[in-house]
Structure 1
């Protein structure tokens, strides 16, 4: 790629997925936030999709890790390795062509962790490194004018956390976060299958079950003939230790998810109760915007609408809303927009 000295790059540093936007070229990386490391040498074996394929299937010489867990940084060094690996791949090691780096991060990250991420950018040779909250980027990426004197609410249900934000005049007025989201749902599915079906399954199988059978309200998902959907889960029998399968249905997975959503419901109500009155009045019309990977669960819009008694909308770009918002932020020249660290 021809060198440019004023190239802007945006990063969505999510628990489940890492997305990288390059000015003028679009989103060039959209893969799981997973890294595989050679234990003996410390070298990166693979990142993203290739590393995800190794999850649960490696030997003792290779470690597969997620440097972002539950919306917080579990290993800043691994985040550096992921960014270095992916940016090297995109820019063919010519990181000097990056003039500005904007990294969108979960709301739960502490000030110390924010400083560490900015320093990480500096360590890559990118002095103009800024950070911003994912909830703000998700709103912008979904088409909300967050700079208007009007209250908006966003619920971002990702892999590690469910984030709640009330926005107005370009800032997050109120935010809350709970470590109950996609990864937690998967763990609950694993526990359910273990308890009810006496079968041990892995994370990848649990996620497939969630995607295939999940729903929260309304008629249970069914096939073209009207029969309840069934998922054939493969795993290890807890009694015999031998490979076995179990058939799971939509009704039992809905029950699992409804239990998972109880704490999310509690945080939603707490957020609405703490919202300033004028902004709460705006929500009667502007409603709630749902984004993030798990916002695609069937019946979720109706579920939240019944709780909040205000309109609920699904983002048209739930998986890319943050990076789309990051793109818009990079095009803005008003420096006060970015967060101070």
Structure 2
């Protein structure tokens, strides 16, 4: 067994790669800078992220994945190849076995696109695992037992919830709302309230610094810099955490609605397990302050944030390769 076993969380926001025996080896933004004239990729990952909103006409900074699925096949393949070569070495004769996460409920065409991109990027065998199953596995939930395990994965482009028992998903639902929609809601709120236009990176920084799903006992505040829409000149305003809570209420409502739909569809025995055990939050969205308390308040089910929620899906994809025979029924194979 000379080939490497690689688990990949192919997200709208980040690409996270786990290698058996080494752990998480790559965690980079899934973003690229493309030269429009030469149709060539100029920068990938962190380097491309620093260029976002700051490029000349000739360069375009783009995310090749949208709402958790591939929007630009060739660029996604190039990103995967770039990171797989980093992990396995360019001239390695042993191609890796790869497990890639995919959102629940994606079409067979979208599934095939992810698989083909993995093969073209240098994978020997490529399998797909539903994201909530990978998240539960990576978080160490006892999904092999005949009990209800509920996981809520809030990613950059898509949020998913699933109830898992006996290594398989019993009920699941997804909504194409995640960290990016939350950032857009903050930018839109600041534009309407302060006539201030801000970029994606600034909106994300506001969310990380002072964002909260519920009002905080002590308000936090931060300075936000952008362009005044009235004068067209640079301007700074002070925004507090209560305003951000109000701004992000709409996308969070969509996520809460999706979690409730999964609970409503749960068989009674599994529902009683979930009331006892609670639900686990994973994904980058789990890092938003008080998101666990909001879900507990709205659903009445205890909610906990996983240790290292960002890495759960990639860890689970890697573990799925190690337990391939046990999980075969739940995987998407070709």
Q: Is the CA contact (8 Å cut-off) linking 2:130 and 2:331 kept in structure 1?
A: no
Q: 1:269 to 1:337 in 2, by over 3 A?
A: closer
Alpha-carbon distance between aligned partners in 2 of 1:253 and 1:296, rounded to the nearest angstrom:
15
Identify if the C-alpha distance between structure 1 residues 63 and 269 changes in structure 2 by more than 3 Å, giving closer, same or farther. same
How does 1:259-274 map onto structure 2 within 5 Å?
A: 259-274=250-265
Correspondence 1:52 to 2:81: no
Q: d(CA) in 2 for partners of 1:244 and 1:330? A: 51
Partner residue of 2:216?
A: 219
- The number of residue pairs the alignment matches comes to 332
- Does the CA-based 8 Å contact 1:72-1:108 persist in structure 2? no
Aligned to 2:297: 306
Does 1:196 pair with 2:193?
yes
SS of the residue corresponding to residue 235 of structure 1 reads strand
- In the TM superposition, 1:71-86 aligns within 5 A as 71-86=68-83
Give the 5 Å matches for 1:1-341.
5-94=2-91, 96-217=93-214, 219-220=216-217, 222=218, 228-334=219-325, 335-341=328-334
Point out which structure has higher relative CO (alpha carbons under 8 A, 6+ apart).
2
> TM-score, normalization: structure 2?
0.94
What do residues 136-158 of structure 1 show as CA deviations (whole Å, max 9, x unaligned)?
Answer: 11101111011110111111111
Aligned structure 1 segments of 4 or more residues deviating by more than 3 angstroms: none
Is residue 96–residue 126 contact of structure 1 (8 Å, CA) maintained in 2? Answer: no
CA distance in 1, matches of 2:286, 2:312: 12
Q: Distance in 2 between matches of 1:165 and 1:209?
A: 30
Does the residue aligned with 1:98 lie in a helix, a strand or coil? coil
> Could you state the TM-score of these two structures normalised by the residue count of structure 1?
0.92
5+ residue gaps, structure 1, are: 223-227
Question: 1:300 & 1:99 partners in 2: Cα distance?
Answer: 37
Mapped to 2, the partners of 1:105 and 1:219 lie a distance apart of 35
- The offset of 1:26, in angstroms, is 2.4
